[in-house]
Structure formats: C-alpha cells, structure tokens
Structure 1
C-alpha cells in the first residue's frame, strides 16, 4: 500500500470569540508540525504573491504576519519574497515590485518583516540549480535570495490559472521562484521577439546583450537573432519601451512539467513547509490586474510538508464544491468537463499533469491523509 502524506485542514468558521482567523491559521500550522522545525538563527524565505495592483483576490498581509510571527517565535529570521515578472505590469523590476507590494499592504509594519525581491533589481540575480531527474530542465534559474535561505516556506493563494489550469503551491514555488530567464524558459519553447511598433531604436538591448543577438535594420529598429540568443531575458528587463517580449508559446502540458522541475530545484536539500489558503478561488492568476468572481465558495486553510499532497488535497476540496453562481463556470463555453472546475474554466489545460510529473520526480505523493482540526 502506498504511504500517504499528511495534510492538515481547517475551515474558515470562527463561531466563538475565543479565536479569530489568524489565530486559527497559527493553530493549524503548529498542529501540522511546524513547531518541530529548527529555525534558530536561520534565514527563512516566505514565498508568496503580493498581488498585481488592481487585483483584489491576493492573500492579504494579515495572513503573512501569522507565518512571520511563528518564525520569529522559533528564533528564525523571516523575509517575504517573490521574483520579478516576465510580463509587463506592476512587478517587472524590484523597485516597482516593492511599490506594488506596499500598495497592497505588505510593509514591515503590517507583516513584521521586510521584503526581498529574490532575483534583484532587473530580474537577473539568479542561481543555476541542477534538477535531479529533470526531463525538460537540467539547470533551473532561481532567484538568489530564495536559494540563499536556510529554510523555505510557501504561503499560497490557491486558485485557477489561465495557462496551467490550477495555481497552487507548486505554481507559487516553481514559476514564482524562477528569475526572468527562468520564467522565459518555462513559458517559451523559443526566444524573445521585438514588437516593432514599440521599438524606438535606443539600442539598450544591444548594450546589455553579451552575445550580439539584437540586430538593427535600416529603420533603426531591433530584431533578435535567435541563433545567438541564449534566452537570458536581460533585454526584456532593460528595454525602456517594453518592446521585447517572451513568446509564451510553450504547450500547457510541458509548462506544467517544467514548473514541477523548477519546484524540485527550489525545495531539494533544505527544510521546507507549505501553507495554502483556498479562498477567493479566482479563475485566473493574481498576476492579473483584475479578478473575476470566484469559481466556488471559500473552503479553508491547508498545511503540509508535502507540496504535491497539499496541491492534490486543495484541488479535491475545490472539486467537491458547487460552482458559484455568476462565475465563469456558468458561461456557455464552460459546459464541458463536468465536475472539474479548473478544466471547465480553461479547457485547454490539464492541472493534473504537474502533480503527476512532480510525483514522478520524487517531490511528494498525491495520496494523502487529511486531518481536520
């Protein structure tokens, strides 16, 4: 019989004045075994998503403070962290990323600790990490401040995702911890390209490129020589007009497998613990500057040392919920895949591929034992 991983769960009910939701989350985390971790004097990275400005589904800083306080209680040195985005938005470099986090309430006064953008100012402060057993990624490009941590924690807003079907713990870790070059490796089977109507011919891309990939035509506008490009994504970060873009053309199945391999690179070889809140289950990622009606009612809070079992338990809990009236699940084009809320909202994706590949890599088990507190 396959051994099952332990996942702990509690709902959002607080019928008594004796305990509020932050206290209930703390009790869940400690019951799940967090108190047994050796954090004394250790740097502890807490990976989460600060939310794109305009999005109101992201996890509020109140939840982060619960985790920060527990780390401090055990003598650890916590910091909140994430990597810069590949797309153009409010978190494409460290300055704008931190400003966006502050706008959404993530400041030291609210959370009790500082923010470190893991891949640096322009998204190129990375560490190459070997992926044992990787089929698609041999060496993952991970933000340096994440790999410098002694202990790694993840705090995830569990939701849908337009490219992977489900945005859970492994999406938070695998995609979220990749540097800009790492994100491009996961999203793209090719190299970046130049959107000609945005290019002003400033040649900033040529100055930053160590391989001579940017070429310039008679009109002075840039193009990328793919035979020379190594996919480092530095030109994406330096372009003042956001004219250089990733193709984002990787098939969803391969993207999910790459995310699993990047997750393995992050968690291998050090103590890790994972928390996932199944609430405001929006159909799309918190990287959107907006959020739609949740797919299902709020479910509860989950915690585990096993990221695979945690994602499976959260997914099962979502599937057991009724579709929320007014959500995208009631749109005519979402009538297929009855019972699978994620595939109904994004029919071209299959969220289970990530879990299957992660289990194959030895990241964890899909079989779990759920303990409710």
Structure 2
C-alpha cells in the first residue's frame, strides 16, 4: 500500500501562535478541508476521561476541531460509547455528568455531546465485517453510525491490554456498544456477583433470551441460553453483573481492528492524535500516573494505521521520564510500551489492520 502523509507539529508555542492555533493549522495542512462537510453530520469520537483521571484531552482541543468543521459547513457533535465496566461512564446520564465534570459541554466546545449507544449502552447498529476472522457483525453505537463523517480525536497513551491507546483503540473499542465491548474483551459470558445482587429481578425482566432466573433471591445466568448482549450489565442497579475478561490480548487487538473497519468503512474519515501526558494506562482509569515520556506533539492523517505507527515511533524515540512506571520497569525491551505492559504487543493490531485494508505501516512524516 502506498505511503500516506502523517502531519506533525511539536508543542512549542510563540506569542504569534498558541497551541490551539497550531492545532488548527495542523489539521488544515493535513487536508481536513478536503472532506465535504456541507450540511453533513460529523461524529468526533473522543474520550471524555474517567472522573479522577486528569490526563485526558482538554476540551479546548476539541473546540478547535469543532470550530473548523463548522467553518466548513458541517454539523459536528462529540461522542463516545458507554463503558463495559462499573465507573463514571456506565450509562448515558453518568457519562454526560462525567463529561461536564471534566469540562466538556456545549458551552466549552461549541457543540453537543451524544452518547453513541444510548442510555444503557444497548442502542446499537449491527455492521457486517467483510472478511472478519473474529467478528462477523460489529455492534456499534447507533448515533456514531448515523453520522455522515467520522473524525477521531485521540489522546495517545499507554494501555495495559493493547500496549497503547491511539486511533484504532479509540475507534474500535470506543465505538463499540456495551455488547460490542464485551465481544471484544471476552470469549465468555457475564456472571453475577452474588454478594452484590439484591434479587430485584431487573436483569431477568430485560433478558430477551430467558437466560436469567432468580434462585434464593439471587440472579443466575444460564450460559447455554445467554447470547452475550450485555443488557443485564447495563440494567443492573447494583452493578452485580460483570462481564468475563477472558480473551487473549492478541485476539482483543484483532477484534479492535475489525471494529475499526466497521466504523470507518464507506464514509469519509480523518484522525488526530495528541501525544501529550503519555500516561502508562488508559484514561478509563479513575487515576493517572506520571507520564512515561515528555510531551511529543500533535499528529494528523487520513490513515489511522500510519498515524498510530508514527505516534508509537515518536514515543519510542523519547527519553524515559524519571519516577515513571517506564523507569521502574527497568526498560528491558526496545519498546517503551512493552516495557510498561510486557504482556502486550501493539503491533498485532497494526498488522491486522493493514491486512484488513485500513491503512499502511509505511508513512511520510511532514513537520509543520
């Protein structure tokens, strides 16, 4: 596949151009205005940050992208899907509250926020994955699939399951509904924590496959009937239903690539990654540790695969931050992400995404 261009700028600012102005120049140089936004809906996929974590992207950066799309005649909205785990973003109401707490609102960003998979994480579109080896029909947040154009705005950082979280992680895992996330994370079915279950029966009432029954005032899931839709996880008021997390990291990475293909296939898309506050773990954590490397800069491309590779290459060229988990790892490998999370191999997702036709590993880096 032919090399795509990845555009880059560092985090240095001047009295004539601040970082927000620099970001706008970057995405325009990278060709975002080549997309026909006129009167079209543009989904900007972002991570609003789990409350307690302060490494997530500031809303100021999102506003730059929003304003640029508006100038080009588009109708942008910020979006993310609900989480599979228990936390501050497990349903649309909590998710919006978390976004507001972290500074995201129509007033700070200039556009509305739509939670892609609805109130309880069950509003999904079923998208066939042509050529998929692991996923035949991806379960994507409905509002995301309704959009005419897809933009990813990514905080590039480490990740304990995938090595790093960049464009593919933000797109594939981030756009999956609750059932979609469970499909990526798990080869099994959810289970009930009896000590949390109060026997309210809400899960049984909402199970379309009669897989849940109450025994001694405790819910029990019959895995032979369960189809893994995840509705019981979303409906439980006590957070007593938990998914299995038993998929291998390599298969998880490949499923993320297949979900990314489902999101991007057949419509215009553009991708932006900020390699700043490179925390060792995902922004889904309710905390963040010391960055593993110094801030690098901002990247943009039409190719999410080359974008991820360019960002990973840039991080691996950086010195190790003192006091970080990377330093404490002893740096036994030649890759910063492998040093932090030795059980991961981020190249698996990249190689498989190339196989699916999502992009190329070879890129031309253009510094502005």
Give me the TM-score of the superposition, normalised by structure 2: 0.99
Whole-angstrom CA distance in 1 between matches of 2:232 and 2:214: 14
Q: Given the alignment, which residue of 345, 350, 358 partners 2:345? A: 350
Q: Given the alignment, which residue of 301, 305, 308 partners 2:305? A: 308
The equivalent of 1:242 in structure 2 is 239
Matched, 1:231 2:228: yes
Gaps (5+ residues) in structure 1? none
The equivalent of 2:52 in structure 1 is 54
Tell me the secondary structure at the aligned position of residue 175 of structure 2.
coil
Matched, 1:257 2:262: no
Whole-angstrom CA distance in 2 between matches of 1:114 and 1:55: 22
Tell me the secondary structure at the aligned position of residue 95 of structure 2.
helix
- 1:337 CA drift (Å): 4.0
Tell me the secondary structure at the aligned position of residue 309 of structure 1.
helix
- 1:248 CA drift (Å): 1.1
Whole-angstrom CA distance in 2 between matches of 1:146 and 1:38: 18
Whole-angstrom CA distance in 1 between matches of 2:150 and 2:165: 19
- 1:279 CA drift (Å): 0.4
Whole-angstrom CA distance in 1 between matches of 2:253 and 2:143: 24
Whole-angstrom CA distance in 1 between matches of 2:2 and 2:349: 20
Report matched runs for 1:302-341 at 5 Å: 302-331=299-328, 334-335=329-330, 337-341=332-336
Whole-angstrom CA distance in 2 between matches of 1:91 and 1:325: 32
The equivalent of 1:119 in structure 2 is 117
The equivalent of 1:4 in structure 2 is 3
Tell me the secondary structure at the aligned position of residue 205 of structure 1.
helix
Whole-angstrom CA distance in 2 between matches of 1:83 and 1:296: 29
Whole-angstrom CA distance in 2 between matches of 1:70 and 1:337: 43
Cα deviations across residues 320-353 of structure 1 (Å, max 9, x unaligned)?
Answer: 001110000122xx23542311111111111110
The equivalent of 1:20 in structure 2 is 18
Q: Given the alignment, which residue of 27, 31, 34 partners 2:32? A: 34
Whole-angstrom CA distance in 2 between matches of 1:330 and 1:84: 33
CA RMSD of aligned residues (A): 0.8
The equivalent of 2:137 in structure 1 is 139
Whole-angstrom CA distance in 2 between matches of 1:199 and 1:178: 26
Whole-angstrom CA distance in 2 between matches of 1:209 and 1:109: 39
Whole-angstrom CA distance in 2 between matches of 1:277 and 1:321: 15
- 1:309 CA drift (Å): 0.2
- 1:201 CA drift (Å): 0.8
The equivalent of 1:275 in structure 2 is 272
Whole-angstrom CA distance in 1 between matches of 2:117 and 2:2: 37
The equivalent of 1:363 in structure 2 is 358
Whole-angstrom CA distance in 2 between matches of 1:166 and 1:370: 20
The equivalent of 1:109 in structure 2 is 107
Whole-angstrom CA distance in 2 between matches of 1:337 and 1:255: 25
- 1:71 CA drift (Å): 0.2
- 1:36 CA drift (Å): 1.4
Cα deviations across residues 188-211 of structure 1 (Å, max 9, x unaligned)?
Answer: 010000011101111111000011
Whole-angstrom CA distance in 1 between matches of 2:265 and 2:54: 33
- 1:256 CA drift (Å): 0.3
Whole-angstrom CA distance in 2 between matches of 1:265 and 1:307: 14
